Copies of this chain bind each other. A is one copy, B any other.
Amino acid sequence: MGVGAVKSKRMPRAVREQQMLDAAVLTFARRGYRAASMDEIAEVAGVSKPLVYLYLNSKEELFSAVIRRESAALAEAVRAAVEPDAPADRQLWSGLKGFFAHTAEHPDGWAVLHQQARTQGEPFAVEVAAMRAEIVEFVTAMIGAAAQEAGCGREPAAREVSGLAHALVGAAESLADWANGRGGGAVPGERPSAKETAATLMNFAWAGLGRLMDGERWSPGG
Contacts and interface: CB of A to CB of B under 8 A. Distances in A.
Contacts of A192: 159, 163
A217 interface: yes
Contact of A173 (B34, B116, B170, B203): B170
A218 B162 CA distance: 23
Contact of A212 (B136, B185, B203, B209): B203
Contacts of A173: 170, 174
Nearest to A206: B218
A200 B32 CA distance: 33
A170 B164 contact: no
A99 B18 CA distance: 43
Copies of this chain assembled into the complex:
4
Interface residues of A, number: 68
Given A116-B119, A171-B171, A211-B208, A218 B202 contact: yes
B158 A188 contact: yes
A187 B159 contact: yes
B222 A184 contact: no
A125 to B, nearest CB: 8
Given A119-B116, A203-B218, A175 B167 contact: yes
A34 to B, nearest CB: 3
A168 B171 contact: yes
Among all A-B residue pairs, the 8 with the closest Cβ atoms: A170-B174, A208-B208, A34-B34, A129-B184, A207-B211, A167-B171, A163-B200, A171-B171
24 contacts: A30-B121, A32-B120, A115-B118, A119-B119, A129-B184, A136-B184, A158-B188, A162-B185, A162-B188, A163-B178, A163-B187, A167-B171, A167-B204, A170-B171, A170-B173, A170-B177, A171-B174, A173-B174, A199-B218, A202-B218, A204-B208, A204-B212, A207-B207, A211-B211
Interface of A: 30-35, 87, 89-90, 93, 115-116, 118-121, 125, 129-130, 132-133, 136-137, 158-160, 162-164, 166-175, 177-178, 183-185, 187-189, 192, 197, 199-212, 216-218, 220, 222
